Amino acid sequence: MSPWTERYRPRKFSEICGQDDAVCKVENFIKDFKRNKKKALILHGPPGTGKTTLAHVAARETNSEIFELNASDFRDKNRLKEILKPALEQQSLADTGKIILVDEVDGISAVDRGGLQELLTLIETSPYPIILTANDIWDKRFNVLRRVSEMVQVKEVDYHTIKDVMISILRKENLFINNNLLTSVAVRAKGDLRAAINDIQSLSRMRDPSILTLDERNKEVDIFSALKMILKGKPTRETIGIFDSVKMNLDEIMLWMEENISAEYKGRELVKAVECLSRADIFKGRIYKQQYWRFLVYENFLLSYGISAAKKEAKVGYTSYKKPTRILKIWINNQRIAKKKTIAEKYADYVHIGSKRALKEFPFIKQILKNNLIRKELKLTQEEVDYLDKPVVV
């Protein structure tokens, strides 16, 4: 079940809709590369408008091999050499050209000063055309980069074009969605063609799409992006509202923050961030105890802005974030100690104490329970007995 955004990705210049100007400029850039002064071209514009697609199509159409570089690759000279080695050394055996693609060069604080310098050096010395993509290239650290590159804007895809593309895809898929709904989708997409295609794909899976209401996309943010924004970026006004766009309740978000803070922060900033987390947790506890929901404001603030502000400098590079593991571990553990629990319960019942207390005292109880008569007294099952006699101590 491949995504339609992949299946229907344009493979030829002629298949790219609504970006004629950009297509033309890119085609010329590659063809005239040897004669050009500028070795790099920046494709900039809102998401889902075809920047990366255009780069790949250009490679295809000019019979070139594409080498993709991640912004974080520029931090490490060796890594850079490693990736570009095959590109730079292998002089064309076949008569294929090469294109270097640096996708999302703006990322979130993606390229730091050192990395940026590497990139500029590459641009100066590269024998091959370099295409960069970015959503927002106007930050002042990109001043030099902009000067040495050709700037090509990729605009928001126009609403009619979006609709046309959707209709043509639906036709190929042999599906039908009524016109009003299509219009709805096209408008809601706000120029993001990828989003529109995703929306109709999910609609098409429903029995009766006409009765559906689409979720306002609202630049929907997933938890990984939120983590990135908070942990890597410096706090801004947007930071405070970031969790509103994440489709998860705050309790779950807290677990995600808890799991991933230490992947990013070290030393003093780690202490500050974890302290913020613990204060957020105190508010959470008070909300439950006192049902005073106003505290949610503070819990949210600490989890987003507080943690983000714990660091002095923004962070760069790619970090792999993990799903929270704590709940799963607790569940697994509960399965493992299931027998221990039932034994503790039987004992607790018999001696008039709570089962939690029995669990706490279990090492002593286990010893006492070696006595067969006592096992009979407590009516332990064979499984429980086997558990007690296991050689490995839990």
Among 285, 292, 318, 386, binds another protein (CB under 8 A): 285
What is the spatial distance between Cα 61 and Cα 127, in angstroms, rounded to a whole number? 19
What whole-number distance in Å separates Cα of residue 100 and Cα of residue 95? 17
Among 24, 282, 296, 297, binds another protein (CB under 8 A): 282
Please give the sequence-ordered ranges of beta strands (E in DSSP) within the chain, or none if there are none.
40-44, 64-70, 97-103, 130-134, 149-153
The secondary structure of residue 36, as a DSSP letter, is -
Which residue number, 187 or 263, has a Cβ lying nearer to another protein? 263
- Under rule CB under 8 A, how many of the chain's residues touch another protein? 48
The binding track of 364-383 with respect to another protein, each residue x by CB under 8 A or -, is xx-xx-xx-xx--x------
Q: Are 317 and 111 in contact (CB under 8 A)?
A: no
Residue selected from 359, 381, 385, 388 as contacting another protein according to rule CB under 8 A: 359
**58 or 343, CB closer to another protein?**
343
| Sign of the Cα pseudo-torsion (207, 212, 216, 222, in order) | negative
Q: Considering only 7-15, 146-154, 156-164, 349-357, which stretch makes contact with another protein by CB under 8 A? A: 349-357
Return d(Cα 320, Cα 258) in angstroms, integer. 14
Among 88, 248, 270, 385, binds another protein (CB under 8 A): 270
Instruction: State the CB neighbour count (10 A cutoff) for residue 393.
Output: 6
Composition of the chain by helix, strand, coil, percent to 5: 60, 5, 35
| Residue 287 binds another protein (CB under 8 A) | no
Decide: is 343 part of the binding site for another protein (CB under 8 A).
no
Which x/- pattern over 292-331 shows residues binding another protein (rule: CB under 8 A)? ----------------------------------x--xx-
Q: Which stretch binds another protein (CB under 8 A): 26-34, 171-179, 182-190, 284-292?
A: 284-292
Contact window for another protein (CB under 8 A) among 38-46, 59-67, 141-149, 281-289: 281-289
| Residue 391 within binding range of another protein, rule CB under 8 A | no
- Is 292 within 8 Å of 286 (Cβ atoms)? yes
Work out which of 340, 380, 384, 387 binds another protein, going by CB under 8 A.
Answer: 340
CA distances from 134 to 47, 50, 51, 55, 142 (A): 9, 11, 8, 12, 11
* Residues 193/50, Cβ–Cβ less than 8 Å: yes
Q: CB 379 → another protein: shortest distance, Å?
A: 13
Residue 379: partners with Cβ closer than 8 Å, 6 or more residues away: 346
- Contact footprint for another protein (CB under 8 A): 254, 258, 262-263, 266-268, 270-271, 274-275, 277-278, 281-282, 284-285, 289, 326, 329-330, 333, 337, 340, 348, 350-357, 359-365, 367-368, 370-371, 373-374, 377, 394
